Amino acid sequence: MAYRDFQHFLDVLDSKGELRRIREPISPNLEITEIADRVMKKNGPALLFENVVGPPHRLGTPNPRSAIMGEASIHTASPSTDVRYSMPVAINTLGSERRMAMALSCESFEEHADRLRALLKPEVPSGKLEALKKLPHLLGEIKNVPPKTVNKGICQEVVMMGDDVDLTKLPILTCWPEDGGPFVTLPLVFTHDPNTGKRNVGMYRIQLYDRNTTGMHWQMHKTGMRHMEDAGAKQRRIDVAVCLGGDPCYAFTAISPLPPGIDEMLFAGFLRRENVWMVPCKTVDLKVPADCEIVLEGYVDPSERRLEGPFGDHTGYYSLAGDFPVFHVQCVTMREKPMYPATIVGIPPMEDGWMGKAVERIFMPLIQLTVPEIVDMNLPVDACFHNVAFIAIRKKFPGHAYKVMNAVWGLGQLSFTKMVFIFDEDTNVQDIGEVLFRLGANCDPGRDVLVSRGPVDQLDHASMAEGFGGKIGFDCTHKWPGENGFSRDYPKLIRMSDDVRTKIDGLWDRLGL
């Protein structure tokens, strides 16, 4: 099912026993994080904080020296009474396999993977009659995919411009003690390519600086940064819209590794099987989903930078402060009674783990289109996804594992993967115990290792330079004669004979074991 809006999704979670309402007064300054972190670690429910009360936001720019040391130095607001925020905060709404599947309007992630696979590799019909039979299914998949422009939406029931804009009235979370300030953690950032006009939607954290100014954490490898640089080359600033809420599938599309040129809102229509209704912004030349809770409209000047961070990040460590673009907010629109969607990141597992696992499963057909020998892949949540990949392949020739390693390091966001482990196709790479058994049994560190270098996540603090570092691949497959100097007979994996297994299967229920 497609959701009418974010609050519809919360209502469905509530009806399914997946939502807990918190009526105690809780502060957005660290307290929501502490509660949510404990719940996420237990694979607990979504949370709706209905009574958000706390001290005024701590605003200011970190001291440069403190930023280098990874310590926050904040200009604290003068003491005053607590602020009672006018909107509830929803968090951990995507923090389980079930809720993530519900957000994507499916029973399981494989459902969308199969739909993508059918579109990417359609079977050629044997005749006109078969073609006519397949046509309704194909049309059903694509007819409601393109976004649709409408004149109005709930996201613009309230409009604030100029001096009425005050972001400090939003219950923006200060997540961790050494964060540089409050951060919007679940934003959908809309920009257009200045050269082609094509839309991009990304998820880039934004730090609250003051009532109408934030940071914009566009990293060096991100499309938002490309758009800003291209606008700078034309000596123009770039329009930006930041959306909160809407159909929960929007958050997934914002982090999805889509092929270049594929519109995130087009993909959202595919996932929800209904068009995304888009409404023109009030002050910038952009369109945003009409069902969002809150929209921030403004611009980024490519020539302007400001110190952003530190921030307790998905790596489990604080990303240090650095100079990043500045987002100037000229207009805020919202629905009449909005809810504020948020998440937190930190030492895994966290809510983003299920978002990443959905990416892994749903985009497997795209990966296999480029590297068809891949049978399965596991990007472990505890390794923050981009650090480690366990991959099973259909091995067809000596050195095949090395081919796949190099292919992975040249494939979109998988190029950030630091450690790649390649296994035979009969290895269940989703089973860490089996992975460790095969790794220990089949990999000789003196022979089966490939060391390389390339781009890494800009937030990787262990790399040799920012955004650039080492790679290592491990061939954990059974070795073929002559492969990489291997000249011994390779033993067989221990397996019970099929007839004995079948016999014991028939007896099993009677054995009482």
Q: Which of 247, 313, 448, 475 is catalytic?
A: 313
Q: Which is nearest to 209 in space by CA: 84, 307, 330, 82?
A: 307
User: Rounded to 5 degrees, what angle do the CA atoms 6, 50, 166 make?
Assistant: 75
Rounded Cα gap, residues 205 and 183, in angstroms: 7
Distances (CA, A) of 243 to 191, 196, 265, 286, 293: 11, 22, 13, 12, 8
Other CB atoms within 10 A of residue 148 CB: 13
The type of residue at 418 is: K
Q: Which is nearest to 421 in space by CA: 377, 484, 364?
A: 377
Q: Are 24 and 47 in contact (CB under 8 A)?
A: no
For 392, list phi and psi in degrees, rounded to 5.
Answer: -100, 135
Rounded Cα gap, residues 372 and 320, in angstroms: 39
Is residue 37 among the annotated active site residues? Answer: no
Q: Are 423 and 393 in contact (CB under 8 A)?
A: yes
91 burial (CB, 10 Å; 0-12 / 13-18 / 19+) is buried
Cis check: omega of the bond before 349, within 30 degrees of 0: yes
DSSP string, 337-387: S--EEE----SSS-THHHHHHHHHHHTHHHHHHHSTTEEEEE--GGGTTTS
Other CB atoms within 10 A of residue 397 CB: 8
Residues annotated as catalytic (active site), given as ranges: 313
